[in-house]
Structures are given as C-alpha cells and as structure tokens.
C-alpha cells in the first residue's frame, strides 16, 4: 500500500547524523544561543534589551539536501508578534550569516554610549554530516535461514566449501545497480565466509523484487554455496523517507538492491545510494537502519505498491536523459526498453510544480516531472505481474557426484545437462548458458 509519507508530510525524527552549529548574538554582540543540535529542532529564548522584552525563536528543519533555518524576533507579551524574521537555506559545510533588525525603544545605548535607533541580531549557522552506514559491519551481520539475499547474476556458485572448489558462473553481467542483473537466493545456513543458499522456485521468485530475472537456473532450487563478499546491499525492512516539501519521497518494500555511489551526497541526513527495485532505478536516500544484506520472505505475492491510483496516466521519459522524473536525490529511470511508465499516480495537479508517484510492485517514488511528459493512458493502470498461479513445475532432484544433496532442477534446466552414465551414476555438466565459466557436475537423484 502507499504510505502517507508519499502524499503528505511525516513528523520528522531528529536526524542524528546532522550536526547543526548555531550561534545567535544579541544586539551587544553577546551569545544568546550557542548550540550544536540535530534537526529538526526548535527553541524560543526570552531576552530583555533596555526596557523591552523579546523572544528569539529559531527552527531548523532538514529539507531534501539542505537544512532550512527560520529565525524570528518577537515582541514578548500575552500575544507575541513578529518584529523581524528570515529563513536561511543552508547547504552542507557552507556557513551562512544573517542579521535581523528591529527598532529600539530609544532607551538603549550602544558600546559607544550613543542611543540605538535599531537593534541588530546576528545569526550564524552551518551544518556537517557524517555517514553512519558501515558496510563492513552490515556485511558481518548474521543471515537468518529462510531469508533472501541478492547477488549479481554472474556470481560464482560453489558445489562445496573447499580451498580449490568446484564452481561455475553464468555469463558476465555489469555489476551496476539498475542493469537488471541481480538474482535472489534463499539462505539455508550462514557459515561465515560461506553462505549456503538455494535458488528460489518459480513461485518463490514471483514474490521477490528481483525474482523475474531470466537465466538458465531460473526456477531451479539448486543448493549451492556463495561467498559472503559477493552479496549485494538491500533494505531488510520497509524503507520510507519523506524528503520534504518539493523534494520527493520514497517508500520501498524489503529486497530492493542498493549500491554505493562515488559521490558522497546526503538527503534528510541519509546517504544517497543507487537503488534498483527491479523496475525503477536511480539515486535514492533511505534510512540507514533499514539496510542490510538479507531480507525476510514476503508474506504475500507483491501487488502494485500504490493502491488505488487516483488517475490512469502515463509518464513519458525525457528525451535527453531517459528519466521519468526526479527527486532532490536525482533522476529516476525505468526498466530498459519501457516506452513509458504505465503506473503513474497523478498528484498536485495544476500546481506550480507537477509531482507524480511512480510505483511498481516493490516501491513508490514521488518525483517531479515536466507537465509535457504526462499523457492519458487508455489502457488504464495494469498490474506489473500476475499472482503466481500455475507456476508449480515438475522438478528433477539432483545430487553432487560425491553424494551430497544438490536440490532440484526444472525440466528445462535438466534438458541442458549432457547426461552420461558412469561409476557415480547418471551425471553430467550443468550448462549455464552463453559466456559461462567453470562447470558444475550434477547427478540424478532418486525421487
């Protein structure tokens, strides 16, 4: 379902990764506020100058890749009212200063003994950020049996854990998030540097964000080992983050793939990563505490993530970039070959900026688009994939030549084995398609 964060603002928790350093000087140059805080943060400080009482109010709010700092001087009283105010839009590591002016009551003298006609209040602010995303620590977290992990399609598959193991892999694929080159694997056991896994069946794969990949072992629950170092970063829990007004938002189901970008950028106190839902891809920021290297099995087959649509529209990609839209984190692309995005939910119609929610079965992203990209979709808003009905297949049980269980192959995969009968029984090399490297020998097992 579409969480409220994509259509309305959320109450923001403090962004502990952001350190906002704030100094406010009173009209005599003395510190009125001197703090290092984590926004969102607000304070109201009473101060007396001459015979007049004032309130100095500061509110700091993260918005997209900036922090907005609102400063106001209020006349104190039963109903305080604003005398002066302004907003500073702060970029990371860039200090800014603003001076607010209010009229003096005529009784205030400056350092030189002269009466002041105007009071000046100086605001100085800057913010810094340090990522808490520790990839090494995340990679060492235990992977529960029954969880799923993601790996590149050409991951090395090992028959056993040995110094010189028998191994094979499918043809080379680009190790870039957004290329559709990922496969899910089910964890059987976490054994340190080695992870015992099983490829998902067709019915299991249909419930996963990256389960639709077409490869020679698709649907074959073959039991193999992979190295922990070859696993891909995922969100292990639902990841939701509102980037702020006119900045975008994201809401992702568990199992979306992430990659670390060279550029060290931050949105709402979170590091911007390359994200891939299997249908939509682009730079996104999600809460670091939602990330890991495994995710639980879905409770149900995925449906369209945003339900129900408020209109049947289609979004055409921009000619120059191919992007369907963008958040403050960057442009969002669609699956290669899509002429348009059929599942846009139109929102904020006729506003100065046009925002739509792009969704698939694994997530939704609120993006800004050019109105020229929006057109009618007479076909309506179809589901991305039907529920996995009729996906059960006859599986051929196999074993390793040494006798250990190796799981099963689909009938189609078993036909690609060049079978021969020998001392170990009816065995053969498992063909892994064009460009494959290495070889895995399997033998027929009794049903």
Contacts of residue 412, Cβ cutoff 8 Å, sequence gap at least 6: none
The predicted structure's pLDDT at residue 80 = 94
Bond from prior residue into 440 cis (ω within 30 degrees of 0): no
Instruction: Judge whether 173 and 155 are in contact, CB under 8 Å.
Output: no
Q: What are the two backbone dihedrals, phi and then psi, of residue 97, each rounded to the nearest 5 degrees?
A: -135, 140
Task: Report how far apart, in Å, the C-alpha atoms of 398 and of each of 405, 415, 437 are.
Answer: 7, 13, 21
228-to-27, 183, 185 alpha-carbon distances in Å: 60, 15, 12
pTM of the predicted protein model? 0.83
CA-based angle 210:215:220, to the nearest 5? 85
pLDDT for the residue numbered 14: 47
Per-residue pLDDT of the chain (447 residues), as tens digits, is 333 333 333 333 445 589 999 999 999 999 999 999 999 999 999 999 988 999 999 999 999 999 999 999 999 999 999 999 999 999 999 999 999 999 988 778 777 778 888 999 999 999 999 887 889 999 999 999 999 999 999 999 999 887 667 889 888 787 776 666 899 999 999 999 999 999 999 888 888 888 877 788 999 999 999 999 999 999 998 888 988 877 888 989 899 999 988 888 899 989 999 999 888 889 999 998 999 999 998 875 555 555 444 555 677 777 777 788 899 999 998 765 555 555 455 454 445 567 888 877 788 888 888 877 777 665 554 444 444 444 556 899 999 988 889 999 999 899 989 899 988 889 999 988 888 888 889 999 976
Domain ranges of the chain: 18-129, 143-233+393-444, 236-376
pLDDT at residue 303 in the model? 52
Point out which residues pair with 443 in neighbouring strands. Answer: 399, 427
303-325 pLDDT, tens per residue?
555 544 455 567 777 777 778 88
The pair of structure tokens assigned to 446 is 């009794």
pLDDT at position 172, please? 79
Structure confidence at residue 359 (pLDDT) = 77
Q: What is the pLDDT of residue 431?
A: 85
Closest C-alpha to 335, from 155, 213, 251, 160:
213
**Contact in structure between 203 and 392 (CB atoms under 8 Å):** yes
Which pLDDT score is estimated for 428? 93
CA distances from 201 to 108, 158, 225, 345, 405 (A): 80, 19, 17, 33, 17
**Residue among 106, 128, 127, 131 at smallest CA distance from 116:** 106
Which has the closest alpha carbon to 352: 244, 246, 249? 246
């Amino acid at each position: 379902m579409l969480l409220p964060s994509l259509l309305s603002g959320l109450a923001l928790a403090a962004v502990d990764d952001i350190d906002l350093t704030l100094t406010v000087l009173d009209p005599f140059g003395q510190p009125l506020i001197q703090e290092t805080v984590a926004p969102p943060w607000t304070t109201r400080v009473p101060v007396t100058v001459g015979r007049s009482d004032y309130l100095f109010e500061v509110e700091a709010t993260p918005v997209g890749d900036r922090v907005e700092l609102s400063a106001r001087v209020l006349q104190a009283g039963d109903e305080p009212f604003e005398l002066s105010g302004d907003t500073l839009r702060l970029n990371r590591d860039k200090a800014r200063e603003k001076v607010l002016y209010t009229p003096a009551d005529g009784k205030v003298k400056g350092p030189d003994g002269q009466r002041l006609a105007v009071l000046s209040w100086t605001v100085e602010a800057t913010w810094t950020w340090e990522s808490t995303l520790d990839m090494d620590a995340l990679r060492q977290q235990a992977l529960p049996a029954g969880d799923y992990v993601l790996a590149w399609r050409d991951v090395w598959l090992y028959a056993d854990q040995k110094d010189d193991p028998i191994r094979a892999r499918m043809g080379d694929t680009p190790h870039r998030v957004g290329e559709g080159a990922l496969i899910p694997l089910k964890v059987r056991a976490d054994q340190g540097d080695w992870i015992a896994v099983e490829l998902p069946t067709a019915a299991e794969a249909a419930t996963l964000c990256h389960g639709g990949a077409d490869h020679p072992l698709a649907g074959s629950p073959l039991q193999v080992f992979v190295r922990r170092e070859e696993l891909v970063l995922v969100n292990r829990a639902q990841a939701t983050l509102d980037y702020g007004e006119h900045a975008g938002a994201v809401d992702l189901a568990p199992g979306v793939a992430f990659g670390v970008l060279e550029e060290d950028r931050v949105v709402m106190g979170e590091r911007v990563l390359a994200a891939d839902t299997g249908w939509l891809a682009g730079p996104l920021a999600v809460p670091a505490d939602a990330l890991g290297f495994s995710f639980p099995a879905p409770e149900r087959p995925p449906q369209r993530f945003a339900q129900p649509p408020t209109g049947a529209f289609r979004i055409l990609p921009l000619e120059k970039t191919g992007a369907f839209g963008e958040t403050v984190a960057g442009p969002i692309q669609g699956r290669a070959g899509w002429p348009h995005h059929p599942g846009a939910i139109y929102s904020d119609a006729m506003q100065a900026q046009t925002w739509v929610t792009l969704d698939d079965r694994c997530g939704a992203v609120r993006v800004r688009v050019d109105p020229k990209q929006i057109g009618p979709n007479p076909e309506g808003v179809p589901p991305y994939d039907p529920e996995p009905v009729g996906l059960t297949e006859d599986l051929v049980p196999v074993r390793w030549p040494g006798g250990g269980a190796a799981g099963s192959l689909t009938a189609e995969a078993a036909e690609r084995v060049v079978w021969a009968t020998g001392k170990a029984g009816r065995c053969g090399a498992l063909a892994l398609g064009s460009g494959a490297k290495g070889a895995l020998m399997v033998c027929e097992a009794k049903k």
